[in-house]
Amino acid sequence: MKTLKLRIKDKHATQLNTLAGSVNFVWNYVNDLSFKHLQRTGHFFSAYDIAAYVKGSGELLNLHSQTLQAITETHAKSRKQFNKAKLNWRTNNPKAKRKSLGWIPFKKTAIKYLGVKKVGKKSLKSTIQFSLAKGQKLTIDVWDSYNLALYSINTCELVQDSRGLWYACVTVKEFPNNKCGSGKVGIDLGCKESAISSQGDKLTIKQTQKWAKKLAIAQRANNKKRVKAVHAKIKNTRQDLIHKLTSKLSKDNNVIVVGKLQSHSFTRGNLAKSVYDAGWFEIKRQLTYKCKHAGCHYIEVNESYTTQTCSCCGSRQNSPKGRTELGIREWWCECGVTHDRDINAAKNILALGLERLAVGIPSV
């Protein structure tokens, strides 16, 4: 199971904004009803209990019954996940202090894939139909970079980003059976290079630094639209670079070992911006589900002293130590081997992961 994010054509924005308002109305009603029930009885409403109170409202709000069910299920799940008696209100009023981004969920029975069409030399356009109330239909066109004809659609959520652009997040089942490779690789996470593999591959992001000047100009000019566009560019480029690396790693290897780093421990000082830009959490998140999908082992290990330890002889005699020697990127071991600081750490991380597999500790 995987999720594909497809851009929806702008001509559907008005209709989608209207439906998003109806979804927000149901959410707020369920939110208020659940909270009042908790005050009266001391117990939470389940998604099944709430369904009886929203039954039939889809005809007035132009929403499919399965969409109403998806809203109540998501509300109950989110309330439990965040351990809150009452969740935030949703509003699509542009003048509101905290405007909620549009969200319209659909289940499998309300989705019908109509086909794909070639546009230009390379682009594909797919058409998806969604069921609404009283037999009405919502038909949208999406820019299909994945070719949905190759997949079996399960669920779909239409979501809006901060720029007001709409996307279709489609959960699909793949027909092809993807298999992982036979290699083994260790990954060291860092700030200068976001990820360095034991094979010498490096991922350098630094998109915040690259776009800092243009972002500052837009902020000084109070051009909110441009600021949002720059932030979206930074995010999308970072995501694209990480996707390319993690996809390559999961396809070429059957064992992937990553150093266990807690991002929040590095975000309290001068390194905060670099750590957020490096995307450590996103790298690990993508590797987790891609390895599970491809059938390869994903392991996280304690990376203490992996930078200082020689991956050949295990000595720490001549290695750089402490924050004062962070600038030393290469060092020579007493055994005569020259090490790249990050690649050496990645090799030690891989060795630790293989030791865990050898003694039978669960890898996932």
Helices (H), 188-223: 207-210, 212-220
How large is the average pLDDT for residues 16-36? Answer: 94
What's the mean pLDDT when you consider all of the chain? 85
- Confidence band, pLDDT 50/70/90 cuts, at residue 267: low
Type of residue at 241? L
Please check whether residue 208 is in contact with residue 277, taking contact to mean a CB–CB distance below 8 angstroms. yes
pLDDT per position as a tens digit, 284-330: 999 998 888 888 889 888 888 887 788 778 776 667 676 555 667 67
User: Whole-angstrom Cα distance, residue 321 to residue 46?
Assistant: 55
pLDDT at 169: 95
Average pLDDT rounded to a whole number, residues 37-51: 89
Give the distance from CA 98 to its chain's centroid.
Answer: 23
Question: What per-residue confidence (pLDDT) applies to 139?
Answer: 94
Cα–Cα dist 362/298, whole Å: 10
Q: Mean pLDDT throughout 114-123?
A: 82
Residue 154 has pLDDT above 50, yes or no: yes
Q: What are phi and psi of 92, to 5 degrees?
A: -110, 20
Q: Rounded to the nearest 5°, which phi and psi values hold at 128?
A: -125, 140
Q: Distance (Å, rounded) from C-alpha 238 to C-alpha 232?
A: 10
Give the residue extent of every domain in the chain: 1-176, 183-358
Q: Exposed, middle or buried: residue 33 (CB in 10 Å: 0-12, 13-18, 19+)? A: middle
Please indicate whether residue 359 or residue 35 has the higher confidence score (pLDDT).
35
What's the whole-number mean pLDDT along residues 175-201? 80
Q: What is the DSSP string of 100-138?
A: PPPEEEE-GGGEEEEEEEEETTTEEEEEEEEE-GGG-EE
Indicate the pLDDT class of residue 364, thresholds 50, 70 and 90.
very low
| pLDDT of 129 above 90 | yes
CATH code: domain 183-358 is 3.30.420
Tokens found for residue 154: 């399960």
**Confidence band (pLDDT; 50, 70, 90) for 343?**
confident
pTM given for the model:
0.73
User: Is it the case that residue 19 has pLDDT exceeding 90?
Assistant: yes
Summarize the chain as % helix, strand, coil (round to 5): 45, 25, 35
